[in-house]
Amino acid sequence: MKKVSLILAFLSLAVIGCNNKNEAETANKNTEVELEVDKKNNQINNNWLSEIQLNNGSKWIANAETTDGVVQMLSIVKSTKTTTVADFHDLAAQLNDVKNYIVKECTMEGSSHDNLHIFLHPLIEKINALGAISAVDEGTKIKRAIQENLTAYYNYFE
């Protein structure tokens, strides 16, 4: 009986810990939608560019699925007409699907993988923010920042 009580107590603590973690993750997701905006230029900051590194002066070798996903996302951004808030939300959903594919199929390891995360994290934030916009001008700025993010991929990966 003591073992059963001990197991139940442990499970209760684990569930409480998971719930607290989920609440923290939800709070983080909500704050991720707020992108830093450069007030001087009225553009979304791309601070990740100061963090990412080259491979001793050369581009990192990315797995084919990652590069294919970036190509696909750039194509979607360039070809999708966005004149309404709903259009931007649809664009965000399409980009999110491709981003999920990239993350799922990633086989990169080590420093190349670390630098890919430096590239992906702000892109994910921008996609999330695009899905939460409430005004077309806001969506336009974020769409431009996403395109800049995707285009910069080729400066660091091949």
Q: Three-state SS across 63-127?
A: CHHHHHHHHHHHHHHHHCCCCCHHHHHHHHHHHHHHHHHHHHHCCCCHHHHHHHHHHHHHHHHHH
Q: Decide if 60 is inside a domain.
A: yes
Contact 35/45 with Cβ under 8 angstroms? yes
- Note the pTM of the prediction, 2 decimals: 0.74
Q: Decide if 112 is inside a domain.
A: yes
| Chain centre distance of CA 65 | 16
Q: Which region holds residue 76: left if phi is over 0, alpha if psi is between -120 and 50, else beta?
A: alpha
**pLDDT tens-place string over residues 92-106:** 999 999 999 999 999
Question: Which residue range(s) make up the domain with 147?
Answer: 33-156
Q: Decide if 131 is inside a domain.
A: yes
pLDDT grade, residue 49 (50/70/90)?
confident
CATH of residue 104:
1.20.120
Check pLDDT > 70 for residue 30: no
**pLDDT tens-place string over residues 9-28:** 333 333 343 333 333 333 33
